[in-house]
Amino acid sequence: MPARVFHVLQVEGTGERGLAQVAGAQRALVHRRQLDALGISRGAYHHRLAAGSLHRVLPGVLSMVDPLLEPLSAQTAALLYAGNDALLSHDSAAALWGLTAHPSSVVITVIDRHVRSRPGLAVHQANGLDIRDARLHKSFPVTSPARTLIDCGTHPNIDDLLNEARALKLVKDADIHAAMDRCPRRKGIKALRALLEAERESGYTQSKAERILKRLVREAELGQPIFNTYVEGIRVDAYWPGLEVVIEVDGHQFHGSYRAFQRDRAKSNKLVAAGYVVLRFTWPQLTGKPLLVVATIARALSVRIHTTPDAAKSVGSPQT
């Protein structure tokens, strides 16, 4: 059975007072059938359109302001247009959860019904939706974080979305696997499973700074480090096994306090004393001087390869 995840706001008042109540709760938006429930006649409705006090946004959806200025107005209009059993999904859901910026168009999913897409609105159909895959977030019906990641599975930045969801503590891997089991034929599942499997081998990044580091290492073809693993009992951001090279990144959000500064230096000293090469990079270096970061890592790896030739057999020489 489909989940009843969204219902058009029920009208309590009538006339102007009721209209103000409804529009105030819906970011200055109202549906045509709500006007009927308010007792606003067809003639009065057309008069308001002609006078410019109402503006058509989508079929059946009207706004008391033009253009739409309030944040999330486009998402509200899309859900009013689609009616019951519709929810934000895909890119729009990812943005609402804070995983990415809001896209220029709105994406929704409707359950067991056909609703036409419109300019600026992409509509997906789903044959049922488990209630565990739906949420109410910021007063919007939206796919759960796990289901959102599945729907975005084929996106080129799915690894960033996944890591952001983890960093925000919105989802655990167990939640994702459970959601995939509930919709085994969804398009994004194959890519998401492959990403999770790959991360079992290399670990996953927790912060935006770490994700930038991971991208730089991948694009520069500097071998395959393990992210967020333990070395000498210390959790490190990136580690090349065999070469004994460790990288720590100082993203402000995660390393901003004096106590954290002291702890990070103590970690580095312990690793250096044990024979590891430890490189530290700051957020300004990662974002403003990426070529210098890559060159520094490549140099350290090259030195270790030449001084520990047996390690190079298993790791492979980085390309500089």
* Percent residues over pLDDT 90 in the chain: 54
Domains in the chain (CATH in brackets) are 15-68 (no CATH), 74-196 (no CATH), 208-315 (3.40.960.10)
The set of residues, in sequence order, having a beta carbon less than 8 Å from that of 305 and lying 6+ positions away, is: 243, 311, 312, 315, 317, 318
Residue 7: its pLDDT value, please?
45
Q: 253: which residues sit within 8 A by CB, 6+ positions away?
A: 207, 208
Query: Residue 95: which of 172, 161, 173 has the closest Cα?
Result: 161
Q: How far apart are CA 315 and CA 320, in angstroms?
A: 15
Euclidean distance between CA atoms 24 and 34, whole angstroms:
13
What integer pLDDT is reported at residue 229 of this predicted model? 86
HSE, CB side, 13 Å, CA atoms: give it for residue 79: 24
Token digits for 92? 């729009």
Instruction: Specify the pTM.
Output: 0.66
Name 74's Cβ contacts closer than 8 Å, sequence gap at least 6: 68, 106, 120
Nearest Cα to 94, choosing from 86, 85, 103, 104? 103
Phi then psi dihedrals of residue 43, to 5 deg? -65, -45
* Cα–Cα–Cα angle for 236, 242, 244, rounded to 5 degrees: 45
Q: How many CB atoms lie within 10 A of CB 212?
A: 20
Q: 247 - beta bridge partners? A: 238, 279
Helix (H) or strand (E) holding 81: helix 73-82
> Which residues are CB-neighbours of 291 under 8 A, at least 6 positions away?
none
- Per residue of the chain (320 residues), give pLDDT as tens: 333 434 445 556 667 788 888 888 899 999 998 898 888 888 988 999 999 999 999 999 999 999 888 999 999 999 999 999 999 999 999 999 999 888 899 999 999 999 999 999 999 999 999 999 999 999 999 999 999 999 999 988 888 888 788 878 899 999 999 999 999 999 999 999 988 887 776 565 567 788 889 899 999 999 989 988 889 988 888 999 989 999 998 764 444 445 556 777 788 899 999 999 999 998 888 888 999 999 999 999 999 998 875 555 545 444 44
